[in-house]
Structure 1
Amino acid sequence: MAPVVGIRAWPRPVLLACATLLVAGVYYAAGRLGLSQQLTADGAVVTPIWPPTGLALACLLLFGPWCVPGIALGALLVVLSLGNAGPETVGIVAGNTAAPVCAWLMLRAVGFRLSLSRLRDGLALVFLGALVAMLISSGTGVGMLLVSGKLPMEHLGIVWLAWWVGDAVGVVLVTPLLLLLYRARLPPPSARWAEAAGLTVVVGVLVPLIMYSSVSVMFLTFPILILTALRFQLAGGIPCALFASVMATVTARQGAGSFGRLTEIETMVKLQAFNGTLGLTALLLSSVISEQLNTRRSVERACQELVEALQHLNAGGPGGPGTPGADAR
């Protein structure tokens, strides 16, 4: 009999350290990606979409509280990469860490499901995870900048609004996508592959044309978004909304399309409103459709079980094959 060679597992502290560094690295990369699409509004630099908040909340929902040190370290690295770090850095990092943690705790308290298969899950993510919890990060960050003298009082309102909406949009668009990718399994080949490929081409061609059109036709994005959500629920609606939001942000930074004749403030407000509306529409519509489909499948299964039970009873009833002496003549 061959000897069994034992495999020594890594110590738990080493695993936690590696996991913390991994979360911090991914958070930092997401932060740099968000900073690459900055806008200037009334002299203040804002980010229309802040992916790290969505990433942090998704990590907490999937893996639990051990991700908190990695989130804090990643937030610290992002702040330090901007330069001019000071005492306010501690408050900003604390706010960016506390916001997703509070969102995670509130979602757990209301019985949030990672599948987002119910309307209540979509509403919880929007109102608790995004709109309410992100008040912590935006309020703390703007407050610390104001106290340190790095934010003029006249920019307070616009920076706070941009910070809050950017964090909220990051949760609404990025968190569902990461939850979806974590649960994704490659389906068997079917006719839906062709439909998915066709919709991908439609989105990839029409959305840039809409964004770069000199005529203000950004509203035409919503029929495309609704179609993808109707056909593929979250798997179609969220990627479509994220792609459209990114294209709108790129167009706004270039001052092209329907953003070409707007002031900096008007550009920021229009872009934030558009991105937020896209995210809300995709998430809530997909949740409603998924809930209806799940309800229909449950009813169909119940009807099938009822039919099988009736067939079984009829088979064993008087004169049926299952009755002793039924074949005696």
Structure 2
Amino acid sequence: MAAVVGIDDLRRPGGYAVQVLAVAACYYAAARLGLLRELSVEGAVVTPIWPPTGVAVAALLILGLRCWPGITIGALFAVLSLTTPRIEVLGTLAGQTCAPVCAALLLRRARFHTDLGRLKDGVALVFLGALPAMLISSTVGVGLLVLMDKLNMESFWPVWLAWWVGDAMGVLLVTPLLLSLHGARRPPSLGRWKEATALAAVTFLLVPLAVYGSISALYLVYPLLIWAALRFQLVGSMLCALLMSVVATVAATDRAGAFAGLSRIEIMAKLQTFNGAMALTALLLSALITEQRNTRRSVEKACQELVEVLEHLTAGEAPPPRAQRDTEGAGGADGADGRPWPTAPP
């Protein structure tokens, strides 16, 4: 009931303004975090992961399409923090806003569930919300750079690909995490906290060794993803995936560890291949495990209800209780020899 009241309050003019400003602030904060690590591709600066797209898609799915002005406002402040206002900024804002809105519309059309409790939801987020929808922002953004003579036509495709993958990675890594945190109902038990602490400790120890080691051992992170997905489903697996992606991005921008001695194109290709494979594994595996657990719980609940129904039916067909039989006998039932039971004289 409290959630319904909160939603109704947000539909009022004042609540709607707060909602839009909150989305804008979250978008801008995510943009500043994404700009901490950049890569140069064909003379253009791109980010391997663009978290604001994930924030925008999650906001549209949770709060509704009415919050889209917050995305535009947040994108405007993010662009103004990088360059002076020009006419092409309007096109960039349109692309950054239309891409998440298109993703939300496609997911709504596919009857997407924000709890990501089905494998279908994970597949929809990948192949509707991330990959095709983010084509809008990358095409508009890089196209404007070419039209304004800030980028050569020969460099269009490498920059376009880096832009597109960065936006898509923001959706694959950030949106599931925000949706799972929004749907969390209660904190885990003490035993789960101990296991979560152990998982975090192993992750913080193993991931830097796998990324910064002299031997390229990025594949060592996958057992951790499987552990997180099996025991903590979406929240655990996406937190691990986000941490691994951040560590790999830092190493790639520093050209250290597994990314040492590579060209800029090779670094981008290796980093995005690793991030994409890891995000897909975490998202789809956790969605599949959650779906199986929900199915098992539904079957167990149906079996319990069936047992209760059978118990009621059996109780209805059973003979009357012994006390009831004794009461009926005291009222004149026949004795063992077929004669009436004797009664006391009046």
TM-score by length of 1: 0.92
Alignment of 1:1-329 (within 5 A): 12-187=12-187, 189-319=189-319, 321=321, 325=325
Give the 3-state SS of the residue equivalent to 1:132 in structure 2.
coil
Q: Structure 2 stretches of 5 or more lacking a match?
A: 1-8, 330-346
2: CA distance, partners of 1:137 / 1:10: 29
2: CA distance, partners of 1:182 / 1:135: 27
1: CA distance, partners of 2:171 / 2:322: 60
User: What RMSD over aligned residues (CA atoms) do the two structures have, in Å?
Assistant: 2.1
**CA 10–87 in structure 1, closer or farther in 2 if over 3 Å, else same:** closer
Give the 3-state SS of the residue equivalent to 1:273 in structure 2.
helix
What is the CA-CA distance between 1:305 and the residue it aligns to? 1.1
**Which protein is bigger by CA-based radius of gyration?**
2
| Amino acid in the other structure paired with 1:165 | V
| Amino acid in the other structure paired with 1:89 | V
2: CA distance, partners of 1:94 / 1:322: 81
1: CA distance, partners of 2:41 / 2:305: 61
Moved more, 83-92 or 105-114: 83-92
| Amino acid in the other structure paired with 1:207 | V
1: CA distance, partners of 2:264 / 2:11: 53
Q: Structure 1 stretches of 5 or more lacking a match?
A: 1-8
Report how many residues are paired. 321
What is the CA-CA distance between 1:13 and the residue it aligns to? 3.6
2: CA distance, partners of 1:293 / 1:202: 26
Whether the 8 Å contact between 2:241 and 2:282 is mirrored in structure 1 is yes
Whether the 8 Å contact between 2:10 and 2:19 is mirrored in structure 1 is no
Whether the 8 Å contact between 2:208 and 2:247 is mirrored in structure 1 is yes
| Amino acid in the other structure paired with 2:145 | L
Give the 3-state SS of the residue equivalent to 1:214 in structure 2.
coil
**CA 188–323 in structure 1, closer or farther in 2 if over 3 Å, else same:** farther
What is the CA-CA distance between 1:307 and the residue it aligns to? 1.3
2: CA distance, partners of 1:281 / 1:158: 25
- Which deviations, in whole Å up to 9, do the C-alpha atoms of 1:270-295 show, x marking residues without a partner? 00111111111111111000000000
1: CA distance, partners of 2:327 / 2:255: 87
**Off by >6 Å, runs of 4+ in structure 1:** none
2: CA distance, partners of 1:203 / 1:62: 30
- Which deviations, in whole Å up to 9, do the C-alpha atoms of 1:240-287 show, x marking residues without a partner? 001000000001111111101211110011001111111111111110
TM-score by length of 2: 0.88
